[in-house]
Structures are given as C-alpha cells and as structure tokens.
Amino acid sequence: MDAHKKLTIGLFGFGTVGEGLYKVLQQTPSLKASIKKVCIKNPAKQRNAPAELFTTHKNDLLFDDEINVIVEVIDDANAAFDIVSTALQNGKAVVSASKKMIAEHLPEILELQAKTGLPFLCEAAACASIPVIRNLEEYYDNDLLHSIRSIVNGSTNFILTKMFEDKLNFSDALILAQQLGFAESNPVLDTEGFDAVNKWVIILNHAYGIVEHPSQILFTGIQNICLSDATVAQEKHYDIKLVAQAKKLRDGKVAAFVLPQFVKHDEPLSFVKNEYNGVVIESGFADKQFFYGKGAGSFPTASAVLSDIAALRYNYKYEYKKLYHHIPHQLSNDFYLRLYLSFDDLKYVPRDDFEWIEEWHAAEERKYLLGVLHVNKLIGKTWWKEKNVSLILTPDPVIENLDIINLKKRSLELAGIM
C-alpha cells in the first residue's frame, strides 16, 4: 500500500473500542481511511451510527474485494482468531486489539504472517495508548534490553488506586471501572491477572523474541490483596501495583512474571494511577526510560488502532527482529523471588519451601512474613493463590543466586540476631 492508497476498512466489533474508532476516524479525514461495513453480533442493540453500516454476516467483510483492511476489536478470542486467519488468507491486512486471542494463538499468528507476508498490527493490544510494541520492535533492535517493568492493566490499577487512595471497597471500585469502559466483559480476566499476562506474552515476544503460551508464565491478579496489606505497604513507604516484569539473567535467559509488587514511592511506576499504564525499560547505555499513558478506555485504545491503520499506508509490518534476526531468548525457571506473604493461618504457608524468612509477624489476626523462595516453589502450585493468602513481591524481587542471602544471614549471625 502506498501513502495515496485508500484504506477501506471492514470493522469487527462496535463496543467500547469499535465505536471509539468510528468516531476517531470521522475526525481524521486526512487519513483517507473509511469504514465500509461493521460486523456485529447483536443486531437488536441501539448503535450510534447509520443502520446500513452494520451486518451480522462476517463474510460480507471477509470476502469483499474492496475491503483491504480488517480491523478486529471483538472480545471472543476464538471468533477473533477465525476472523484474523481468514482475513490474512484472503489477502487483507489486519489490525487487532484482541490480547487474549493473540497471546493464545501466537505461533499460528506468526506463521500466518510469514506465509502471507501481510501486516498484522496490534499496538492496541498492550498498554492501549502507549506505543510500546512498535518501540520494542524498532528502537530496541539490539541485545541490550536488560529489563522491563510495567503496569499493563488499567482496570486493576484503577481499582488499587480507588481502594487505597479514595478508600472505596473492591467491588465498588470494580463497578466504576466497568462503568467507565475499562474492564473486560468478564472482569475476572482483569482482576485475576489473565488480561495482564496475555499482554505480557505479546510484549515478551516483541521485546525478546519469546514465544510462550500465557499458561507458562507465573501470574496472578489483585483478587487477594487486603486492607492490612495496604497498611504494611504504607508503613514501609510502598505502593501496591500489579507489575509485569521481565529481567535478563546472567545466563541470557529471561525471568518473567506478572504479580502484585511493592513499589517504592520514588519509582516511576508509583506515579502511575487510575487507568494509566506505565513501562520502565532498562537498557545497556540509555539506563532507564519511562513511558506513560492511558492503558484502557475507548479513545486511548482507538488511538492505537488508528495509528496502526495509518502505518498500513506505508505497508508497515512487524519484522519480529528478536525472533528472526537475533537468537531468541528463553524463559528461565531458575531464580529466587523475595516476597511478602500475608495469611490468616500458618497452615496455608509451606514454611519449609522458603530459603530464608527475614521478617515474621504472627501476633496480629492477619499474619505476614517476608522471605525468599525459589520460583519452582510457586510454579504449578496453588497455595499462594488461595483466598486466604496474599502474595506481594518486594522491590527488586529477582535474586539470581543465594550468595547475597547467605552473606546477609552470616552477618546477622555474627551480630547475634539469628
């Protein structure tokens, strides 16, 4: 496609993002992109657009030769994959915002792109308005990406902000997030970390060439965080955030997870409130860089879809440089995590799994400890996700070997404390 070529769009979905895109496109006539048809599931629903625009037949879009771009913003991951595969096989460029679908079908989507040579752009699928995918693809085209720490889910960040700053309870904060159009149709995807891990799979792919299914990544959400955790955080001058983190280890592998984390007040991610997202990248020579922007909502998400549509004018596609032009990285399951656990009863916590327990508060009704354990003591286990347990990582949670812990232990022993 060249800069003068008209983009004729077939749009799937007219919810928060689809309607947002429709309005945004009306305000950007210079783009020479127009929506020819919109495919929807429920024709009875009142829509703020001319009735003749809508159809319920997907093939009206997928087999229309005039339509050269399919934009897919529905939330049924299986239907979305079907649409995307047919569109690419029919010679159409695709823009998608379906994080679940992309994360769960990453190998097939990569293969379809390689086979058809067509663009598949998905900037809106991670951190909405923050152009993180294109940045990771184009700017960090090297081996120097040391770590990425990120808030990738707007709804959970919104809920945590409302709970701890405005003293709303969890369910009221969630209702508000739903009313504002931030939450998924099934909000458990947000609150229990599924949406965040899906986005993390996509980001790990563009950052490190990693191709992994979400089920292979250690994650949880904010469902078990309670008020007493916030009190401890406050005492220690921390915020609690749901942080997606990736860190390159000395053996070249990558430690990656999505878990609640204590964030120091002077860290950039502590500044990220409400539905905003943030990404802190540490690279070889630049040191730290911080990207910040709205991570959910109609227009912020539509803005990323719009940017992808604009990029199609010059036939932009991801090259997946870290995957195809460098040696792709692998995930590591061999590192330790320093973490805080709070729980009602000691019986929920396998104390012997810990390498070291550094702090122990058992007097209160809600007990907690700070300690270090190997990540294999969490992977595939469920005790730490049970209702009565809340796990929060400490700042700088990744420990590669225990030398440092042993040194600490030794100095405490010498001081007669242990």
Tell me which residues are annotated as active site.
199
Which residue's CB is nearer to ligand HSE, number 128 or number 197? 128
C-beta closer to ligand HSE: residue 191 or 342: 191
Q: Per CB under 6 A, does 155 bind ligand HSE?
A: yes
- For residues 195 and 239, which CB has a smaller minimum distance to ligand HSE in the complex? 195
State the virtual CA torsion across 177, 178, 184, 187 in degrees, nearest 10: 80
- Of 154, 209, 221, 260, the residue at the interface with ligand HSE (CB under 6 A) is 154
- Compare residues 68 and 98 and give the one whose CB is closer to ligand HSE: 98
Judged by CB under 6 A, the chain residues 128 through 147 that form the site for ligand HSE are 128
174 lies in the binding site for ligand HSE (CB under 6 A) = no
Tell me the torsion sign for CA atoms 329, 244, 248, 318: positive
In the complex, least distance from residue 195 CB atom to ligand HSE, rounded to whole angstroms: 5
Closest CA relative to residue 289, chosen from 297, 279, 299: 279
Number of residues that bind ligand HSE (CB under 6 A): 11
Write down the least CB distance from residue 159 to ligand HSE, Å.
9
Mention every residue, 6+ apart, whose C-beta is less than 8 A from residue 9: 25, 33, 34, 35, 36, 67, 69, 70, 71, 309
Q: Is 293 in the site for ligand HSE (CB under 6 A)?
A: no
How many angstroms separate the CA atoms of 395 and 264, rounded? 7
- Tell me if residue 293 falls in helix, strand or coil: strand
**Bridge partners, 94 (sequence order):** 70, 120
* 139 φ, ψ (degrees, to nearest 5): -85, -40
Binding of residue 183 to ligand HSE (CB under 6 A): yes
User: Shortest Cβ distance from residue 242 to ligand HSE (Å)?
Assistant: 10
Closest residue to ligand HSE: CB criterion: 155
Amino acid identity for residue 48 in this structure: N
Specify the amino acid at residue 167: K
Q: Does 72 engage in binding with ligand HSE (CB under 6 A)? A: no
Using CB under 6 A as the binding rule, whether residue 258 contacts ligand HSE is answered as: no
Residue 296 found at the interface with ligand HSE (CB under 6 A): yes
Q: Which of 19, 184, 229, 308 binds ligand HSE (CB under 6 A)?
A: 184
DSSP characters over 245-261:
EEEE-TTS-EEEEEEEE
With b for 16 or more beta-carbon neighbours within 10 A and e for fewer, the 311-350 pattern comes to bbbeebebebbbbeeeeebebbeebbbbbbbbbeeeeebe
| Nearer to ligand HSE (CB atom), residue 118 or residue 243 | 243
CB of 248 to ligand HSE, least distance (A): 26
- Give the one residue of 75, 192, 195, 212 binding ligand HSE; rule: CB under 6 A: 195
H or E element that contains 370: strand 367-374
With contacts defined by CB under 6 A, name the span among 176-184, 240-248, 319-327, 361-369 that binds ligand HSE: 176-184
CB atoms within 10 A of CB 148: 25
Q: Which two tokens stand for residue 394?
A: 């400490």
Q: Does 19 engage in binding with ligand HSE (CB under 6 A)?
A: no
Which residue in 182, 320, 340, 343 binds ligand HSE (CB under 6 A)?
A: 182
Check binding of 244 to ligand HSE (CB under 6 A). no
Give me the residues that bind ligand HSE (CB under 6 A), please: 128, 153-155, 182-184, 190, 195, 295-296
